[in-house]
Structure 1
Amino acid sequence: MQDIISMLIGVSPILVMVVVFYFFLIRPQQKRQKQVSQMQQNLAKGDQIITIGGLHGMVDAIDEDTVVIKVNENSRLRFDRSSIRSTTQQEQA
């Protein structure tokens, strides 16, 4: 009985570190990934977006797995939906 208690006391710092690691690193990352996935599924034509590579543009067309981004009047680029990092709200002038 004494051996079991001393073993639990010896292992408890490692268990505490695992729990802290989960709540401060793993869980927030999972929540962020879920938000990004939701945003990518809810993209609509006309949304202002930023890609993972930093390209700013407007969604011109959406397919199941791809998005056509209008960069300026003459340029349209096709990206995978998963390469969209975020949407931005552009002020209406």
Structure 2
Amino acid sequence: MQNTQTIIMFVVFIGLLYFMMLRPQKKQQEKRQEMLGNLKKGDEVVTIGRLHGIVDSIDQETKTVTLDCDGVYLVFDLSAIGQVKPSKEANEEKVDSDKKVEE
């Protein structure tokens, strides 16, 4: 009887561990991969070192990205991109499309 309860508690613990820790982490990784996959020239980004810049070019073969930081071009690994802000053109297009929908 005692062994059965211990086994059940262990299985429940493993299940909770999966749903509370591993599953959300996997979703976060998928979201990050999607963000990096949608990265394009002109996007404003923030690196993991908190350097702000605008994407100038992306090299998928070497997985690097070149940032324009006020005329200084810096090359980073794609994995160094921490956050992507939409480009100004994308924001303008969204505002224009919102206006068209209202009309």
How many matched pairs? 88
Equivalent of 2:32, from 27, 32, 36? Answer: 36
**Aligned residue for 1:86?**
83
**CA-CA distance at 1:89 after TM superposition:** 3.8
What is the root-mean-square deviation of aligned Cα atoms in Å? 1.8
1 or 2, which has the higher helix percentage? 2
Where structure 2 has 5 or more consecutive residues not aligned to the other structure, the ranges are 92-103
- TM-score, reference length from structure 2: 0.75
Query: Which AA in structure 2 matches 1:67?
Result: V
**Aligned residue for 1:67?**
65
Query: Which AA in structure 2 matches 1:54?
Result: R
Query: Which AA in structure 2 matches 1:69?
Result: L
Indicate the SS of the match to 2:49.
coil
CA contact (8 A) 2:52 2:69 kept: yes
- TM-score, reference length from structure 1: 0.83
